[in-house]
Amino acid sequence: MAALDLLGRRWSLRVLWELRDGPLGARTLRERCDGMSPSVLYVRLGELTNAGLIVQRDDQCYELSDVGRSLDKALIPLDQWARRWAETTTP
């Protein structure tokens, strides 16, 4: 799967974003990603792990890999843009 295809899949970027501050277990990730079904969560975790963007630790928590952390640096400007956009479109 091409990197942009994976990142464009629903919930992929959200999972990566939630892991930006450190490792999380699957249950916590699901709670932070309101509305994500457990089956979709585990599919995305598998895809992101296979792509080398996240790793599963011995304690079953997930964290960004070095490659995933480098992507996180690219997501910060996107988040800043989205916040500015939200401010201009909120009535």
Binned at pLDDT 50, 70 and 90, residue 1 comes out as low
Residue 27, pLDDT > 90, answer yes
Q: Specify the pTM.
A: 0.83
Q: 91: number of CA atoms within 13 Å, CB side?
A: 0
Interior angle at CA 49, CA 27 and CA 15, nearest 5: 45
Query: Tokens at residue 19, please?
Result: 């892991």
The pLDDT assigned to 47 comes to 95
Which helix (H) or strand (E) segment is 67 a member of? Answer: helix 66-89
Q: Can you list the domains of the chain with their CATH numbers?
A: 2-89 (1.10.10.10)
Binned at pLDDT 50, 70 and 90, residue 91 comes out as low
